[in-house]
């Protein structure tokens, strides 16, 4: 099925419909369940039945903006819609669909009307678009080869090869980052939108498939293009725009990374929780062990942190287009890091079952293998820190403790958003309103009656400590000159940028908590409106920062553990939405 007729209703209804179409992951009789997915993963193939589900649903339409015929109107909705797929199989989610969005992001960002319509037509008729990116400074030989484009009268001539292109043999459209210059800083690459059906015959050669440790069912293949003439109309933006266009496109892409790693970690946590609650022959369970309880609670709290960041990063594209670049980078940097650490902790609960390739616990190992590929590993992590650092001296001098708070709708997923306007996005933010949320919450708790308000003294203490950390960051960066590359590239600055992401995460969680507390009657999630989870989240974040901690909030952590177990038994997702699972 093509176009937008495959799904109806809002994002929540479409996500629920996709969950139902896939069926229960833990049902051995389900042809799209864990057993079938693990077998396909072992064989390095994608289940044809699973791809048919996505084709019938019309997943490609979710990646196409509404103004050119698709269903994409809100970026937070897109993140939510990806979760039913990535909960099951990252190879399916990335190879079948999300890579098409990553590839098309430069078209949506800089394409002219004809180019945008061409890309939309490809996706809405069920075809794929692949992207061949430029050389990555922190990459390895797997991603370092590249294409070149020689400018000639009327167009360009493309040469070169890439050995790691997702969907290399299956994509009709190609978005190619090609080197067109050597000298001008930042102007060395140009982006081309190519349609393989329109290229001269015999100029594109397949170089074969490369194997990967994670996402083993995704086709990462090579392409060589030899002396291929293309018209000037294939250029996205202008000649030499490649580097800037890559950065601008990343503002769209980065906000989705938390959702896809969260979805995989949701399945991992569910697998471990199911292991922990099973009854043993002596009538006890693993939940009787303090370490197991801590791991389950900590894993769930990390997923809530990630989802708060995902919410802020995607909704800020609509609400704070001139300030969101740091939030998207922080979310994409911190989410994979938290999940990787959490999954290491969860493996200690599973023990030898961590290495299971199939059976009841096989999905844990699969999700653990897939995570580094879905989050783009070290290259992605370093790039996200690098994009945060230049903004911090400006924030320290002009924004922190001075900016107003963001609009409350930033933290409320049920509220409407203005249309996405990609022309308003900027690479370097002119303010940091999210940090202002942290400062405002400190003032709120200081002025509360009774003292400390609903959250109690522990929450008050934690918020005050985090506000002090923001003050220390201000002192560290306010004397760094903007553009001082040596100072910003130091190990100390990278460490401070890491701490800044944790402060932002705390502010995002406080914003979501406050948003639920003030939601209209019947519109709030009772668990999220209560202070237990946000107090436990901040305790965990402050502990990561190595800052002073209050007495451990055991009673509140028990409420969080009860939520973990309840969501397991009630088949609800481990995120802000608590979506019903089949």
Q: Which helix (H) or strand (E) holds 441?
A: helix 433-446
What pLDDT, on the 0 to 100 scale, is given for residue 139? Answer: 42
Q: Choose the CATH number for 248-570 among 3.40.190.10, 3.30.70.260, 1.20.140.10, 1.20.1110.10.
A: 1.20.140.10
Could you give the C-alpha distances from 279 to 27, 57, 297, 300, 328, in angstroms and in order? 20, 39, 19, 22, 42
Mean pLDDT per 10-residue interval, the chain, length 582 residues: 58 95 95 94 90 95 97 97 95 88 95 98 95 60 71 94 86 94 74 96 87 74 93 95 91 94 96 90 84 96 98 98 96 95 93 74 88 64 88 96 97 95 92 96 78 75 96 96 85 95 98 88 79 95 96 87 97 97 96
Element (H or E) spanning 222, and its range?
strand 220-231
**pLDDT given at position 393:** 96
Q: Concatenated DSSP letters for 245-281?
A: HHHHHHHHHGGGHHHHHHHHHHHHHHHHHHHHHS--T
Q: Where are the domains of the chain?
A: 11-127, 131-238, 248-570
Q: Which of 72, 205, 91 is nearest to 147 (CA)?
A: 205
Contact 193, 149 (CB under 8 A): no
Nearest of 147, 148, 172, 143 to residue 161 by alpha carbon: 147
* Residue 388 near residue 333, CB atoms below 8 Å: yes
Q: Do domains 11-127 and 131-238 have the same CATH topology?
A: no
Cα–Cα dist 553/547, whole Å: 16
Would you state the pLDDT for residue 140? Answer: 39
Nearest C-alpha neighbor of 240 from the set 156, 164, 165, 153 = 156
User: What does the pLDDT read at residue 141?
Assistant: 41
Rounded to whole angstroms, the Cα distance separating 354 from 461 reads: 38
pLDDT given for residue 521 in this prediction? 62
Whole-prediction pTM value? 0.93
Residue 87: how many other CB atoms lie within 10 Å: 27
Helix (H) or strand (E) holding 332: helix 325-350
> Counting runs of H as helices and runs of E as strands, what totals does the chain give?
22, 8
What local confidence, expressed as pLDDT, does residue 2 receive? 42
Q: Write the CATH number of the domain with boundaries 11-127.
A: 1.10.540.10
CB half-sphere exposure, 136, CA atoms < 13 A: 20
Q: What is the model's pLDDT at position 134?
A: 65
Burial of 153 per CB tally in 10 Å (0-12, 13-18, 19+): exposed
481: alpha, beta or left, given left = phi > 0 and alpha = psi -120 to 50? beta
445-455 burial, b at 16+ Cβ within 10 Å, e below that, comes to beeeeeebbeb
Asked whether 417 and 318 are in contact (CB, 8 A), the reply is yes
C-alpha to C-alpha distance for 497 and 428, rounded to whole angstroms: 15
CATH fold of 131-238 reads Butyryl-CoA Dehydrogenase, subunit A; domain 2 (2.40.110)
Cis peptide, bond prior to residue 450, ω within 30 of zero: yes
């Amino acid at each position: 099925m093509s176009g937008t007729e495959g799904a109806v209703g809002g994002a929540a209804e479409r996500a629920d419909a996709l969950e139902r179409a896939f069926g229960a992951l833990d049902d051995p009789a389900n042809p799209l369940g864990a057993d079938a997915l693990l077998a396909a993963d072992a064989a390095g193939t994608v289940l044809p039945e699973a791809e048919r589900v996505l084709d019938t649903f019309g997943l490609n339409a979710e990646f196409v903006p509404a103004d050119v015929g698709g269903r994409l109107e809100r970026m937070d909705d897109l993140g939510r819609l990806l979760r039913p797929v990535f909960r099951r199989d990252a190879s399916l989610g990335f190879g079948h669909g999300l890579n098409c969005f990553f590839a098309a992001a430069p078209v949506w960002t800089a394409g002219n009307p004809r180019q945008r319509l061409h890309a939309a037509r490809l996706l809405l008729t069920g075809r794929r678009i692949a992207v061949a990116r430029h050389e990555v400074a922190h990459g390895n030989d797997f991603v370092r080869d590249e294409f070149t484009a020689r400018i000639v009268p009327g167009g360009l001539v493309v040469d070169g090869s890439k050995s790691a292109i997702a969907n290399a043999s299956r994509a009709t459209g190609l978005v190619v980052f090609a080197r067109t210059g050597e000298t001008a800083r930042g102007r060395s690459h140009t982006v081309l939108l190519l349609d393989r059906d329109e290229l001269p015959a015999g100029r594109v050669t397949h170089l074969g498939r490369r194997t990967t440790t994670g996402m083993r069912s995704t086709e990462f293949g090579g392409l060589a293009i030899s002396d291929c003439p293309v018209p000037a109309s294939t250029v996205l933006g202008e000649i030499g725009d490649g580097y800037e266009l890559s950065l601008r496109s990343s503002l769209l892409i980065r906000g989705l990374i938390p959702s896809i790693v969260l979805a995989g970690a949701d399945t991992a946590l569910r697998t471990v929780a199911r292991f922990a609650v099973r009854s043993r022959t002596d009538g006890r369970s693993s939940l009787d062990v303090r370490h197991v309880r801590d791991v389950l609670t900590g894993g769930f709290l990390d997923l809530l942190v990630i989802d708060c960041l995902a919410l802020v990063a995607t909704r800020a594209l609509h609400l704070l287009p001139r300030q969101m670049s740091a939030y998207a980078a922080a979310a994409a940097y911190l989410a994979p890091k938290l999940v990787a650490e959490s999954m290491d902790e969860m493996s200690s609960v599973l023990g030898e079952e961590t290495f299971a390739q199939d059976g009841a616990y096989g999905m844990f190992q699969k999700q653990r293998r897939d995570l580094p590929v879905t989050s783009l590993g070290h290259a992605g992590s370093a790039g996200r820190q690098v994009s945060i650092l230049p903004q911090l001296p400006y924030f320290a001098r002009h924004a922190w403790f001075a900016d107003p708070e963001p609009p409350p709708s930033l933290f409320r997923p049920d509220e409407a958003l203005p249309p996405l306007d990609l022309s308003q996005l900027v690479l370097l933010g002119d303010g940091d309103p999210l940090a202002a949320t942290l400062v405002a919450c400190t003032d709120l708790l200081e002025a509360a009656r009774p003292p400390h308000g609903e959250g109690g003294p522990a929450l008050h203490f934690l918020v005050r400590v985090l506000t002090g950390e923001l003050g220390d960051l201000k002192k560290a960066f306010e004397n760094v000159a903007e553009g001082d590359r040596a100072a910003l590239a130091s190990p100390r600055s990278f460490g401070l940028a890491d701490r800044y992401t944790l402060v932002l995460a705390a502010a995002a969680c406080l914003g979501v908590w406050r948003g639920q507390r003030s939601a209209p009657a019947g519109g709030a999630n009772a668990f999220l409106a209560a202070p237990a989870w946000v107090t436990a989240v901040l305790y965990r974040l402050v502990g990561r920062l190595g800052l002073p901690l209050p007495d451990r909030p055991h009673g509140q952590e028990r409420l969080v553990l009860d939520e973990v177990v309840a969501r397991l038994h009630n088949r609800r997702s481990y995120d802000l939405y608590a979506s019903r699972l089949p």
